Amino acid sequence: MTDQHSPAPASTLPPIIALDAMGGDHGPAEIVPAALSVLERYAAITLILVGQRDVLEPILKQHGVEESDRLRIHHASQTVEMHELPSMVMRNKKDSSMRVAIDLVKDGEASACVSAGNTGALMATARFVLKMLPGIDRPAICATMPGTNGPTHLLDLGANVDTSSEQLLQFGIMGSELVSAVNNKSDPTVALLNIGAEEIKGNDQVKQAASLLSQSPINYAGFVEGNDIFTGKVDVIVCDGFAGNIALKASEGVAEFISQQTRAEFKRSLYGKFAALLSMPVLNAIRHKLDPRRYNGASLLGLRGIVIKSHGSADRVSFAHAIEEAIIETRKNVPERICNELETVLNERRDN
C-alpha cells in the first residue's frame, strides 16, 4: 500500500476484552481456563466474562480464583444456542451473553469481544449493534492459514455468499490493513483466488475485481489457485464467502482424513505401535506444528469494533489464541486503520 497517509496510531489504552463466556460447544468450562491462561501471560489487560453469574462463579471458584479488576463477571441472563436462527436471536435474546458482549464494545466498556457461538447470529448481531465502517457493505470473516513459506490471511470465509467485485476490493483493503497492522508487514501482497481452467479464467466478479484491485493502491499480486492458500506465496487471498468457506472446510476435511489414516496405519500392527512409540517426539512436534488451535480466532472485519469468532469446538488452548487475536487487534487499532485506508482509496478514485 502506498504510504500517502500515516496509519492510525497504535492504541495506548490497555485492552479490555469481553468474552461471550456461554458460547461454543464447551461454554465456560473451557472459556474460563482460557481466560486465566491469557491473564497469566499478559500483564496489562482486563477480561470480562459475560454470562450467567451463578454458572460462572462456581467455575472461577473451582480454579481457585475470584473476581478482580482484571477478571470481572458481567451478568447476562440468556444464552444463544448453536442452531438458533440469527433473526430469532436478534429479536428474543437481547440479554444473551453474545449480545451483551457486543453491547459492551459498542458502549466503549470493552475494546473487543470474542465469541465461540453461532456464526450467523454473531455476525448479524455485531452488524446490527456496532454498524459497518463507511464504505463497507457487510462484514467479512478472515482467518490465518498456515503455509510452507509462512501464513496467509484468507477472506471471506462465509459471511457473504453472493459477492460483488466491489466487495472483493473491500476485502482486499481490509485484509491488507489487518496484515500490515497485526504482522507489522508493510505493503502486504493481496491476490484473488481463481481457478485453473484456462480461457474461462474465473467468473465475472473475479475478472472485474482484478481490474479494481490493480487500479487501487493495494499491492495486488494477481490470481492464485486453491493450493496457494497453503504455500504462503502471498499475504492475503481474497474470495467470495461461498468459495472461501468450502476451501476452509475441505482443507479441514483432508487434514482430518490424513490424520485418521496415519493413526490407523500406526495402530494396525505391533510393529507399527512400536514405531509410533519410538517416533513419538517427532510425531508430537508435527502435531504441534500443524495444530489448528494455534490458528483459532477469525476476525469479523469491516465493523466499527473488534469482534473475534472462535471455532465452536474450541478448547481452552484454542480459545486462548482467539483472545490473543483480540488483544493484538485492539493494540493495533485495526478498525480505525481499515477506515482510514478505505477513505484514501475512495478519495483517490473520486480524484481520478
Residues of this chain, 76-115, that bind a second copy according to CB under 8 A: 83, 85-87
Q: Which stretch binds a second copy (CB under 8 A): 127-135, 167-175, 178-186, 265-273?
A: 265-273
Q: Which amino acid is at 140?
A: A
> Looking only at residues 240 through 259 of this chain, which bind a second copy when binding is defined by CB under 8 A?
241-243, 245-258
Q: Crossing angle of helices 119-130/97-106, nearest 10°?
A: 30
Of 10, 278, 346, 347, the one binding a second copy (CB under 8 A) is 278
Pick the closer one to a second copy by CB: 10 or 250. 250
Q: How far is the CB of 351 from a second copy (least distance, A)?
A: 34
Of 2, 68, 77, 227, the one binding a second copy (CB under 8 A) is 227
Residues in the chain: 352
> Which uninterrupted H or E stretch holds 144?
strand 140-145
Distance between CA atoms of residues 221 and 190, nearest Å: 6
Pick the closer one to a second copy by CB: 166 or 265. 265
Distance between CA atoms of residues 125 and 114, nearest Å: 13
Q: How far is the CB of 158 from a second copy (least distance, A)?
A: 4
CB 48 within 8 A of CB 72: yes
78 three-class SS: strand
Pick the closer one to a second copy by CB: 286 or 346. 286
Distance between CA atoms of residues 16 and 45, nearest Å: 6
Pick the closer one to a second copy by CB: 10 or 290. 290
Size of the site for a second copy (CB under 8 A): 71
> Looking only at residues 21 through 60 of this chain, which bind a second copy when binding is defined by CB under 8 A?
none
Pick the closer one to a second copy by CB: 85 or 346. 85
To the nearest 10°, report the CA torsion of 102, 106, 112, 115.
Answer: 10
Of 47, 121, 327, 342, the one binding a second copy (CB under 8 A) is 121
> Looking only at residues 134 through 193 of this chain, which bind a second copy when binding is defined by CB under 8 A?
146-148, 158-159, 161-162, 193
**Grid coordinates standing for 28?**
465456560
CB 229 within 8 A of CB 152: yes
Q: Which stretch binds a second copy (CB under 8 A): 38-46, 72-80, 120-128, 321-329?
A: 120-128
Mark 187-226 with x for binding to a second copy (rule: CB under 8 A) and - for no binding.
Answer: ------x-xxxxxx-xxx--------------------xx
> Looking only at residues 279 through 298 of this chain, which bind a second copy when binding is defined by CB under 8 A?
279, 281-282, 285-286, 289-290
Q: Where are the alpha helices (DSSP H) in the chain?
A: 28-41, 53-62, 86-92, 97-106, 119-130, 165-182, 204-215, 241-267, 270-290, 316-331, 334-351
266 contributes a contact to a second copy by CB under 8 A: yes
